[in-house]
């Protein structure tokens, strides 16, 4: 099969693209939903670190089978011309066992309805992943993770999955407690509820973070997730403070003023332009520069 970017080459090694069934769907009054997907194809997944990222392809109507894209050069997707394209969303695996057939993740709802409305166990979604995960350098002893409510699932995954011996320091927005299944206990590290500034992101600077956690920058990695503006600003502060860019993972989950679909379309255009320039869009550091604009 060919697509707009050339012959279909399939997903990269260690990744899987397949249809998956919703095995469990539990909505919580907090606004989060716990979702479990199942597929025999998941047994071939090879996570590349903690909190691995994947995408789901959501069919236009619950109960329909999602159309999967073809992948061409640079692994850019394209759909058959007559196909009704699915909605695409990115999530983080909260729980996954290598060789297993289930992937669990957290989805955050919003006012006015969201894509999970109308979906039930047994309905199918498309899946492609895992794109990448966090692999801290070998000398890292502390991981600081800061995010708004959209990043709660990824932060919980980090606290559960980062290798033993690393103290994980979570900085979360002050507000209602997370549901028990999304809480992220860990033997070593800290959890801080911070007041929020713009966009619901914790109002905290890099200097305050280092003082609060006691994490020496030379032995620290930083993970950021949330609205693009505060994520970009805190990353810039850490860079000015001397933190090696290779120790920073910054993921913008949304952008104020854009719907999620508009935000995803804008990112898609950026990735295609970057691929046309010949850069390695599978490199996490390159991806951060593309996504932060």
Tell me which H or E stretch contains 288. Answer: helix 284-292
Give the start-to-end residue ranges of the domains of the chain.
2-132, 142-256, 257-293
CATH topology of domain 142-256: Rossmann fold (3.40.50)
pTM value?
0.88
Q: Which CATH superfamily is domain 2-132 in?
A: Translation factors (2.40.30.10)
Tell me which H or E stretch contains 249. Answer: strand 248-254
Judge contact between 263 and 223, C-beta under 8 A.
no
Q: Are strands 2-3 and 220-227 parallel, antiparallel or unpaired?
A: unpaired
Q: pLDDT tens across 148-179, in order?
A: 999 999 999 999 999 999 999 999 999 888 88
Structure tokens at 67: 């159309």
Q: pLDDT tens across 37-54, in order?
A: 999 999 999 888 999 999
């Amino acid at each position: 099969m060919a697509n707009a970017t050339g012959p279909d080459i399939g997903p990269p090694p260690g990744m899987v693209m397949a249809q998956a069934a919703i095995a469990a769907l539990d909505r919580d009054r907090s606004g989060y939903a716990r979702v479990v997907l199942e597929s025999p194809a998941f047994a071939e997944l090879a996570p590349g670190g903690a909190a691995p990222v994947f995408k789901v392809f959501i069919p236009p109507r619950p109960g329909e089978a999602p159309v999967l894209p073809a992948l061409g050069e640079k692994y850019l997707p394209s759909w058959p011309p007559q196909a009704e394209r699915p909605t695409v969303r990115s999530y983080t695996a909260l729980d996954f066992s290598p060789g297993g057939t289930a992937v669990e993740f957290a989805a955050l709802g919003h006012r006015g309805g969201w894509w999970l409305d109308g979906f039930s166990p047994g309905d199918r979604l498309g899946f492609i992943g895992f794109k990448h995960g966090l692999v801290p350098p070998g000398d890292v002893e502390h991981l600081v993770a800061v995010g708004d409510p959209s990043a709660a699932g990824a932060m919980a995954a980090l606290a559960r999955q980062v290798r033993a011996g690393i103290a994980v320091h979570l900085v979360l927005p002050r507000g209602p407690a997370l549901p028990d299944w999304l809480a992220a206990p860990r033997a070593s590290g800290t959890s801080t509820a911070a007041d929020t500034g713009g966009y619901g992101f914790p109002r905290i600077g890099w200097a305050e973070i280092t003082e609060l956690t006691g994490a020496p920058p030379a032995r620290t990695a930083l993970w950021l997730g949330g609205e693009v503006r505060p994520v970009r600003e805190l990353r810039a502060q850490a860079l000015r403070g001397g933190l090696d860019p290779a120790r920073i993972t910054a993921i913008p989950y949304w952008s104020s003023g854009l719907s999620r679909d508009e935000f995803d379309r804008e990112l898609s255009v950026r990735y295609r332009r970057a691929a046309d320039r010949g850069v390695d869009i599978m490199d996490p550091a390159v991806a951060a520069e593309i996504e932060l604009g």
